[in-house]
Amino acid sequence: MDTVEELNGTYFYDGISNLSPQELLFWVMIDEAHKQLGIKDIVGLASIILGNNIIEIPGKPITATRGTSPASLFFRKHLSYKFRTRILPTLTKKSFTLRGIKIFWVNNLGAFVGRAVPVLGWSIMAADVAIISFNTVNRFNTIVSSEDKIW
């Protein structure tokens, strides 16, 4: 292990000495994030960006969510299959609010896939945050003395 506790109550980690427990936690988190992040995170970030409603669409009703996403336009064009009834649940931003989502049922396969793209991206990012946090606390707790442990 590359970490040892020093005599004066501070810690040594990866070539950095005299670290307080809080500073050690920061450096362990940076190390765990470096281990976790990779190509799937680029896909996740791209999914979030491509699923953002950045393209203005004229003629939409005032109650509709403003704009559309590049992903939605692409998949509506290339997956134009329509079901007879609205059987596919999608998540969209609520109109006239700064936060929140609403569930909207669609019958267009392309709309469903286009609206699923940012959900996939946010899911990847949320999983990474959870994994990094869990691994950071576990690793930190194996390094520090009992009085500095989290939980």
Residue 87 φ/ψ region, left for φ over 0, alpha for ψ in the -120 to 50 degree band, beta for the rest: alpha
Backbone torsions φ then ψ of 110, nearest 5 degrees:
-65, -40
CB atoms within 10 A of CB 16: 12
* pLDDT digit string (tens) for the chain, length 151 residues: 454 555 577 899 988 889 999 999 999 999 999 999 989 999 999 999 999 988 998 888 877 778 899 999 999 999 989 999 999 999 887 655 557 788 889 999 999 999 999 999 999 999 999 999 999 999 999 999 889 999 8
Element (H, E) at 19: strand 16-19
